[in-house]
């Protein structure tokens, strides 16, 4: 009797803490996720969702076959992910290597590079919309000064998405630099010293010692950046708002700079076209889940040093 | 030998020069933005532009605060961010306590359920969440803004890592003395993990301050907008008013700069320890 009371008392506290948290997770994460997947398989009825009819993969097939917006968004998302990763990984690594060479003053430089990473995408996006402004923006002023032709930037269907990517990469760079720098600092000193004593040059030390040891950091950053870029919304929403004077939905001019996450918002909230929006969202979820599994596989350490 | 030292000194100087140039690329746009918010409206769209205002003015700030009521958006953001941060710190540290100092069946499973919240993209939950929150009548309310943001999977993970290091002996000793769990939490666990709580706090505050998508969806009344949404709204309501847009963006960045200045140490430490972006 006394014992069972003690056991109950022992479980009471964890239950009181984890119970409400579990309720929160079900209500605000797992139920919405399941609901989205469910809605994407139905012909969704706004007035009475319970009356929606099951249509299988029809919403997905429709998008892949007849929806030019979806195809453009999908293509843009891949361009976005690839270009951003290709920019932030090598440049971040180069800046980190420069930091590593320094004897003193590293902290000030880190703070400067890192500052944009803390600011909101909204503020940074707006700042760059101002800098990209074709007639009085800073970038065209610079182009004019060095004698190059001015550009339409965000108002041009071909350039808009790349302007957004450049802005995102600029903000994200401090993050990759910091992670690479920490990785470089964690390399045991005697490894590098041994190579130096053996007469290895700087580039040889980098490719034969530093880079292999940093493989783990590099893999983490690549996968993390890719996952992050796949679901990003804020920059495209803020920067392409009034692009080309199309008004209303972001992703302009026309839908030339739309990405998958923006499509979820435009279809689901503005039209509203819930079944289509949730189908796009489910595709994003699937991609992110696959990448997370890949990340988990890669990141299990294979060896120690 | 001295030739080698000279070479090294020259190398250092070159590295510094290159880095100064790189850092300018990151700092200059901010300087440009902040300085522009002190320019009169006509100067902002004038060609050619100058870095320093030709005529310094505070008129943009007085317009944005008085006519566009930005004080209200500041207040909204503050209410939401402080609430979310406090709830996140409390729930994360309580969960950390339970996950590290209690033994019961299914503990690991529950932790994985919590942790997997990190990989669910917001795009998959946003529409059902909107339908649900508006159905229970919380559209355009602080509570509606706060509820879906106030538990932090990342915070729970961080606090569990942090509290792992607190010796179990201390808890056992307190239990033998007849201390209640709540007493142990407030008198032993919490004081020993203030650094971890501070980290979770700074991260959650910045993350909430920078939120755009959820406010955009759930807030349709102008006066309930948090600052980030109000600033974004400038671009579609006053698209040609670059004086207002630039000043709004400056206002959104200033609190972040303050947090950055006062909490840079724990921020950078947290970033490098966990490899997470705000």
- Residue B267 pLDDT exceeds 80: no
Q: Are A105 and A241 within one domain? A: yes
- Residue B162 pLDDT exceeds 50: yes
The pLDDT assigned to B269 comes to: 63
User: In this predicted complex, what is the ipTM?
Assistant: 0.88
Q: How far is CA B60 from the centre of its chain?
A: 26
Range B204-215 average pLDDT: 92
Query: What token pair was written down for A33?
Result: 């996720």
Listed in sequence order, the residues at least 6 apart from A200 whose beta carbon sits closer than 8 Å to its beta carbon are: A208, A209
DSSP labels for B120-171? S-HHHHHHHHHHHHHHTT-TTSHHHHHGGGS--HHHHHHHHHHHTTS-HHHH
Contact yes or no for A242 and B239 at CB 8 A: yes
In angstroms, rounded to a whole number, what is the distance separating the alpha carbons of residues A140 and A117?
A: 25
Report pLDDT digits (tens) over A138-188.
899 889 889 899 898 988 888 999 999 999 999 999 889 988 988 888 888
- Residue B134 pLDDT exceeds 90: yes
Nearest to A113 by CA among B24, B258, B262: B24
The pLDDT assigned to A284 comes to: 95
Query: What token pair was written down for B178?
Result: 């007849």
Bridge pairing between strands A42-43 and A53-54: antiparallel
B124, B232, B252: residue with CB nearest A36: B124
Report pLDDT digits (tens) over A100-121.
888 877 878 888 888 888 888 9
Residue B43 lies in a domain: no
Asked whether B272 and A142 are in contact (CB, 8 A), the reply is no
Contact yes or no for A121 and B278 at CB 8 A: no
Contacts of A174 in chain B (CB under 8 A): 26
Q: Are B96 and B18 within one domain? A: no
Report pLDDT digits (tens) over B173-190.
998 988 899 999 999 999
The pLDDT assigned to B5 comes to: 80
Burial (CB count within 10 angstroms: exposed 0-12, middle 13-18, buried 19+), residue B176? exposed
In angstroms, rounded to a whole number, what is the distance separating the alpha carbons of residues A81 and B62?
A: 41
The pLDDT assigned to B82 comes to: 96
In angstroms, rounded to a whole number, what is the distance separating the alpha carbons of residues A285 and A159?
A: 28
**Cα distance from N-terminal residue to C-terminal residue, chain A:** 54
Residue A17 lies in a domain: yes
Structure confidence at residue A235 as a pLDDT band (50, 70, 90): very high
Residue B45 lies in a domain: no
Mutation site for A-interface testing, chosen from B35, B45, B121, B244 by largest number of A Cβ within 10 Å: B121
Contact yes or no for B98 and A18 at CB 8 A: yes
Report pLDDT digits (tens) over A251-276.
778 788 899 999 999 888 887 889 99
Contacts of A120 in chain B (CB under 8 A): 209-210, 212, 228, 252-253, 256
Report pLDDT digits (tens) over B99-130.
999 988 889 999 999 988 888 999 999 999 99
Nearest to B92 by CA among B164, B172, B150: B150
Helix (H) or strand (E) holding A43: strand A42-43
Beta bridge partners of A53: A43
Q: Are B20 and B111 within one domain? A: no
Q: How far is CA A221 from the centre of its chain?
A: 11
Nearest to B202 by CA among B273, B266, B151, B276: B266
The pLDDT assigned to B109 comes to: 94
Q: Are B29 and B84 within one domain? A: no
Query: What token pair was written down for A171?
Result: 């903000």
Residue A246 lies in a domain: yes
Asked whether B148 and B129 are in contact (CB, 8 A), the reply is yes
Q: How far is CA B65 from the centre of its chain?
A: 23
The pLDDT assigned to B277 comes to: 44
Nearest to A30 by CA among B138, B143, B153: B153
Q: Are B95 and B32 within one domain? A: no
CATH of the domain at B207: 1.10.3720.10
Q: Are B117 and B248 within one domain? A: yes
The number of folded domains in chain A is 2
Contacts of B81 in chain A (CB under 8 A): none
Residue A127 lies in a domain: yes
Structure confidence at residue A8 as a pLDDT band (50, 70, 90): low
3-state secondary structure of A148: coil
Expressed in percent and rounded to 5, the helix, strand and coil fractions of chain A are: 75, 0, 25
3-state secondary structure of A161: helix
Q: Are B24 and B150 within one domain? A: no
Asked whether B215 and B84 are in contact (CB, 8 A), the reply is no
Q: What percent of chain B has pLDDT over 90?
A: 51
Residue A60 lies in a domain: no
Contact yes or no for B120 and A33 at CB 8 A: yes
The pLDDT assigned to B234 comes to: 86
Report pLDDT digits (tens) over B22-47.
999 999 998 889 999 999 988 888 77
* Count of pairs with CB atoms under 8 A, one residue in A, one in B: 252
Q: Are A48 and A121 within one domain? A: no
The pLDDT assigned to A169 comes to: 96
Contacts of B239 in chain A (CB under 8 A): 241-242
Q: Are A104 and A194 within one domain? A: yes
Q: What is the DSSP letter of B232?
A: H
3-state secondary structure of A158: coil
Range A238-261 average pLDDT: 72
Helix (H) or strand (E) holding A53: strand A53-54
Distance set, CA A290 to CA A296, B153, B189 (Å): 10, 20, 37
Q: Are B158 and B256 within one domain? A: yes
Q: Are B266 and B178 within one domain? A: yes
Q: Are B105 and B233 within one domain? A: yes
B12, B114, B206: residue with CB nearest A25: B114
In angstroms, rounded to a whole number, what is the distance separating the alpha carbons of residues A190 and A305?
A: 12
Around Cβ A30, how many Cβ atoms within 10 Å?
Answer: 16
Length in residues, chain A: 305
Listed in sequence order, the residues at least 6 apart from A19 whose beta carbon sits closer than 8 Å to its beta carbon are: none
Contact yes or no for A25 and B260 at CB 8 A: no
Range A219-232 average pLDDT: 88
Residue B163 lies in a domain: yes
What range does the domain containing B32 cover?
2-36
Q: Are A178 and A50 within one domain? A: no
Structure confidence at residue A3 as a pLDDT band (50, 70, 90): low
Q: Are A162 and A24 within one domain? A: no
Contacts of A77 in chain B (CB under 8 A): none
Range B57-63 average pLDDT: 91
The number of folded domains in chain B is 2
Contact yes or no for B277 and A117 at CB 8 A: yes
**Range name among A17-21, A22-26, A196-200, B208-212 with the lowest pLDDT average:** A196-200
Q: Are B29 and B72 within one domain? A: no
Q: Are A31 and A131 within one domain? A: no
What range does the domain containing A29 cover?
13-54
Range B210-233 average pLDDT: 93
Mutation site for A-interface testing, chosen from B25, B49, B112, B127 by largest number of A Cβ within 10 Å: B127
Asked whether B70 and B230 are in contact (CB, 8 A), the reply is yes
Structure confidence at residue A305 as a pLDDT band (50, 70, 90): very low
Nearest to A131 by CA among A169, A158, A167: A167
Contact yes or no for A99 and B19 at CB 8 A: yes
Q: Are A135 and A29 within one domain? A: no
Residue B48 lies in a domain: no
Structure confidence at residue B271 as a pLDDT band (50, 70, 90): low
Contacts of B206 in chain A (CB under 8 A): 118
Residue A194 lies in a domain: yes
Query: What token pair was written down for A201?
Result: 């040059």
Residue in chain A closest to B254 (alpha carbons) equals: A119
Mutation site for B-interface testing, chosen from A16, A30, A31, A32 by largest number of B Cβ within 10 Å: A32
Give me the phi and psi of B103, to 5 degrees please.
-120, 120
The pLDDT assigned to A241 comes to: 65
Report pLDDT digits (tens) over A11-60.
889 999 999 999 999 999 999 999 999 999 998 888 788 888 898 899 99
Contacts of A289 in chain B (CB under 8 A): 119
Q: Are A50 and A193 within one domain? A: no
Nearest to B28 by CA among A11, A300, A26, A139: A139
Q: Are A76 and A47 within one domain? A: no
Q: Are B230 and B266 within one domain? A: yes
Q: What percent of chain B has pLDDT over 70?
A: 95
Query: What token pair was written down for B10?
Result: 């020259």
Q: Are A170 and A293 within one domain? A: yes
Residue B50 lies in a domain: no
Q: Are A32 and A174 within one domain? A: no
**Range name among A70-74, A240-244, B52-56, B231-235 with the lowest pLDDT average:** A240-244
Contact yes or no for B210 and A11 at CB 8 A: no
DSSP labels for A265-300? HIIIIIS--HHHHHHHHHHHHHHHHHHHHHHHHHHS
Report pLDDT digits (tens) over B47-59.
777 888 888 999 9
In angstroms, rounded to a whole number, what is the distance separating the alpha carbons of residues A190 and B46?
A: 58
- Residue B85 pLDDT exceeds 90: yes
Task: Tally DSSP H helices, then E strands, for chain B.
Answer: 15, 0
Residue B128 lies in a domain: yes
Residue in chain B closest to A145 (alpha carbons) equals: B48
Q: Are A167 and A253 within one domain? A: yes
Q: Are B239 and B150 within one domain? A: yes
Mutation site for A-interface testing, chosen from B107, B124, B179 by largest number of A Cβ within 10 Å: B124
Contact yes or no for B278 and A18 at CB 8 A: no
Q: How far is A10 from chain B (nearest CA, A)?
A: 8
3-state secondary structure of A54: strand
Report pLDDT digits (tens) over A121-146.
999 999 999 899 888 888 998 898 89
A14, A39, A274: residue with CB nearest B98: A14
Residue A144 lies in a domain: yes
Average pLDDT over chain B reads 88
């Amino acid at each position: 009797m006394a014992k069972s009371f003690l056991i109950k008392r022992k479980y009471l506290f964890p239950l009181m803490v984890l119970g409400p948290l579990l309720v929160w997770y079900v209500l605000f994460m797992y139920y919405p996720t399941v609901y989205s997947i469910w809605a994407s398989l139905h012909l969704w009825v706004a007035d009475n969702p319970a009356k929606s009819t099951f249509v299988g993969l029809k919403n997905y097939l429709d998008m892949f076959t007849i929806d030019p917006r979806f195809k453009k968004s999908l293509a843009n998302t891949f361009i976005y992910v690839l270009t951003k990763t290709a920019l932030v990984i090598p440049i971040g690594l180069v800046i980190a290597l420069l930091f590593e060479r320094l004897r003193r003053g590293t902290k000030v430089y880190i703070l400067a590079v890192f500052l944009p990473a803390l600011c909101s995408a909204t503020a940074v996006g707006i700042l760059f919309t101002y800098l990209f402004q074709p007639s009085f923006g800073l970038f065209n002023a610079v182009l004019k000064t060095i004698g190059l032709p001015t550009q339409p930037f965000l108002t041009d269907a071909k350039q808009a998405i790349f302007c957004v990517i450049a802005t995102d990469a600029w903000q994200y760079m401090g993050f990759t630099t910091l992670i690479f720098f920490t990785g470089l600092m964690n390399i045991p000193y005697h490894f590098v010293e041994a190579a130096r004593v053996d007469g290895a040059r700087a580039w040889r030390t980098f490719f034969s010692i530093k880079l292999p040891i940093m493989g783990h950091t590099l893999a983490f950053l690549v996968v993390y950046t890719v996952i992050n870029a796949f679901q990003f919304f804020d920059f495209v929403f803020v920067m392409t708002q009034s692009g080309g004077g199309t008004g209303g939905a972001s992703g302009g001019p026309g839908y030339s700079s739309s990405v998958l996450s923006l499509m979820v918002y435009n279809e689901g909230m503005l039209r509203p076209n819930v079944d289509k929006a949730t189908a796009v969202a489910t595709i994003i979820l699937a991609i992110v889940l696959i990448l997370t599994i890949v990340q988990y596989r890669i990141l299990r350490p294979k060896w120690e040093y | 030998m001295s030739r080698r030292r000279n070479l090294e000194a020259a190398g250092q100087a070159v590295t510094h020069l290159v880095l100064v140039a790189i850092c300018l690329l990151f700092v200059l746009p901010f300087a440009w933005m902040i300085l522009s918010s002190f320019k009169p409206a006509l100067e902002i769209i004038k060609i050619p532009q100058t870095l320093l205002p030709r005529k310094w003015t505070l008129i943009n700030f007085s317009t944005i605060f008085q006519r566009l009521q930005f004080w209200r958006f500041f207040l909204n953001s503050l209410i939401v961010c402080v609430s979310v941060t406090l709830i996140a710190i409390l729930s994360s540290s309580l969960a950390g306590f339970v996950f590290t100092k209690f033994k019961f069946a299914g503990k690991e499973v529950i932790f994985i359920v919590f942790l997997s919240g990190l990989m669910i993209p917001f795009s998959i939950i946003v529409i059902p969440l909107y339908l649900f929150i508006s159905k229970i009548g919380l559209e355009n309310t602080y509570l509606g803004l706060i509820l879906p943001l106030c538990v932090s999977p990342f915070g729970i993970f961080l606090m569990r890592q942090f509290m792992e290091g607190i010796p179990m002996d201390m808890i056992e000793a307190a239990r033998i003395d007849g201390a209640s769990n709540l007493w142990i939490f407030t008198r032993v666990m919490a004081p020993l993990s203030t650094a971890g709580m501070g980290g979770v706090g700074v991260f959650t505050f910045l993350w909430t301050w920078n939120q755009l998508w959820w406010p955009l969806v759930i807030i349709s009344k102008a006066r309930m907008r948090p600052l980030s949404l109000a600033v974004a709204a400038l671009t579609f309501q006053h698209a040609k008013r670059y004086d207002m847009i630039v000043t709004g963006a400056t206002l959104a960045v200033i609190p972040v700069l303050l947090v950055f200045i006062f909490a840079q140490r724990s921020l950078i430490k947290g970033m490098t320890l966990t490899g997470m972006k705000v």
